[in-house]
Structure 1
Amino acid sequence: MQHVFLDPGQMTARLDLQRPVSSPDGQGGAAVSFETVASLWARIEPVSHAPTEAASQRGFTLTHRIWIARRDGIEAGMRFVKGGRGFAIRAFRDPDETRRYLVCHCEEEGR
């Protein structure tokens, strides 16, 4: 496999990495909130957009590739936050299997 070259200077977005935390809602279910576990530098690449429609409301889904320095503990269901924007992590991979970077495949939330 060919090595991926990524100039670390391209990691210009400061993101908070958050994980979901469930707490009882008093009715037998759970309320999910998020807690920040780390702040890190990343490169955000827009990938695609697709129109959506739910309950007669039109919207769209934006997807992104977010590159970060490799770290343990990343899981699908976590999210990145930048200001008022949230990026739900759907999948992640090591692009060249050298344990240097992770590429997280994300959907922008709230759109």
Structure 2
Amino acid sequence: MAMQFLDPSLLTQRAAIERNEPVADGFGGARDRWVEMAETSVRVEPLKAEAEERFGQRVGTLTHRVTLRFRAGLERGMAFRLRGRRLLIRSLLDPDETRRWLVCRCEEKT
């Protein structure tokens, strides 16, 4: 994806950046604990919705492209939280390798 120009006015939504810090549940497992690390302006674009059958149940997956100004320290496994939705970061790309922008492929988790 060659991005020559991105108008900053397109970053119209505010999103919290979260990191998962699992907490032991006392039974050998762990439960998710999402901790807010920062807040930023983003552009969210839906990409696709898929449905598949898993263990006899229909399961849907929604994916999004999230664009933001470059931010060091952002990594796979972190998430954006927007108005009650959590978008888990699956991949990150610096589209023109200038450290101006990041484009993240995200999967919506409920």
Aligned to 1:33: 33
Contact 2:11 2:42 in 1 (8 A): yes
Residues 9-88 of structure 1: pairs in structure 2 closer than 5 A: 9-88=9-88
| Unpaired stretches in structure 1, ≥5 consecutive residues | none
Partners of 1:23 and 1:51 in 2: CA distance? 30
Partners of 1:107 and 1:29 in 2: CA distance? 23
| Structure 1 letter corresponding to 2:77 | G
TM-score by length of 1: 0.90
Among all aligned residue pairs of Structure 1 and Structure 2, give the percentage whose two residues are the same amino acid.
44
In the TM superposition, what whole-angstrom CA distance separates every residue of 1:48-99 from its partner, at most 9, and x where no partner exists? Answer: 1211222222132111110011011111111111111110100101010010
Contact 2:2 2:95 in 1 (8 A): no
Partners of 1:24 and 1:58 in 2: CA distance? 30
Give the length in aligned residue pairs. Answer: 110
Task: Give the C-alpha shift of residue 10 in structure 1.
Answer: 0.4
Query: Which range moves more in the overlay, 29-38 or 8-17?
Result: 29-38
In the TM superposition, what whole-angstrom CA distance separates every residue of 1:34-54 from its partner, at most 9, and x where no partner exists? Answer: 000011100011111211222
Aligned to 2:95: 95
Partners of 1:68 and 1:51 in 2: CA distance? 28
CA RMSD of aligned residues (A): 1.6
Task: Give the C-alpha shift of residue 29 in structure 1.
Answer: 2.8
Task: Give the C-alpha shift of residue 3 in structure 1.
Answer: 5.0
- Runs of 4 or more, structure 1, over 3 Å off, are none
Partners of 2:99 and 2:106 in 1: CA distance? 20
